[in-house]
Amino acid sequence: MDKTPLIDIKNISKQYKGATFLSLDKVNLQIRTGEVYGLLGPNGAGKTTLISILCGLIKPTSGEVLISGNSFKTHAKEIQKSIGVVPQEYALYPKLTAKENLFYFGSMFGLTKSELKPIIISHLDQLGLLPFADKKIKTFSGGMKRRVNLIAGILHNPKLLFLDEPTVGVDVQSKQAITAKLRELNKSGTTIIYTSHHLREAQDLCSLVGIIDSGKIIAEDTPSKLIADTKEARNLEDVFIELTGRELRDYA
Ligand SMILES: Nc1ncnc2c1ncn2[C@@H]1O[C@H](COP(=O)(O)OP(=O)(O)OP(=O)(O)O)[C@@H](O)[C@H]1O
């Protein structure tokens, strides 16, 4: 594994406009090429905020993010080309078919129709969606939409992929198809940063896990090391509860 940090997060804080608290509080992290990095934390911990800053969707209030040594301030275009983003909310057009959506998203990366065609067919096939390629997205189940959403983020073969809860609200079959695809992408060289509430899934998938609570990274290590270092922990869920407590995190 390459030892150069692909992502260097330097003292990032975020206070949303009008907010009285910090959603991120002096976060420092280095993520190396080849990792599958799981960002885990209770509701409202700051996962989406951090991942949105890392992919340039929002700006930090202070601190800096470097991707391959480049800052969004000076190299936004180059960075955007090298990353893929799979947001929590579906970015798909319901009245267009799966294929039409994917041609549209692929064209945003400057790919031509003839370049895109084999890529789209191959991803749809691998994710079990080829028979539905010409059906409108509005007829798709949640799990199918999540799989199309994933394909939309990887058409340009990004070296770095960000996903915000890619398996939320899907059935076990879709979850397995999505995690298998993420494993395959990682094996072929894509570094993956993702957020999830599925701790069993993160334990199996991630090479490294960062646990975030109230805007601070409170632990970071391999899943097996975190489990070994936590008294009586049998799995990542035990570690998570030990570190973040049992109190409910409702907010409105
Ligand atoms: N646009 C915004 N304006 C004001 N506050 C915000 C905004 N977005 C998020 N927050 C607040 O920032 C904190 C972190 O939110 P964030 O969505 O990053 O958490 P999360 O860990 O992704 O939570 P969840 O697991 O519920 O998705 C929360 O207190 C949230 O209410």
Please tell me the distance between residue 46's alpha carbon and the centre of ligand 1 in angstroms.
Answer: 6
pLDDT reported for residue 2: 52
pLDDT reported for residue 89: 83
Please tell me the distance between residue 43's alpha carbon and the centre of ligand 1 in angstroms.
Answer: 8
| Residue nearest atom 12 in ligand 1 by C-alpha distance | 23
Q: pLDDT below 50 — which residues of the chain?
A: none
pLDDT reported for residue 131: 97
pLDDT reported for residue 64: 95
Q: CA geometry: angle at 185 spanning 128 and 191, to 5°?
A: 145
- Ligand 1: residues with CB < 6 A are 16, 19, 23, 41, 43-49, 251
To test the pocket of ligand 1, the residue of 21, 25, 49 to mutate (highest count of ligand atoms within 8 Å of its CB) is: 49
Domains defined along the chain, listed by start: 5-244 (3.40.50.300)
Please tell me the distance between residue 215's alpha carbon and the centre of ligand 1 in angstroms.
Answer: 9
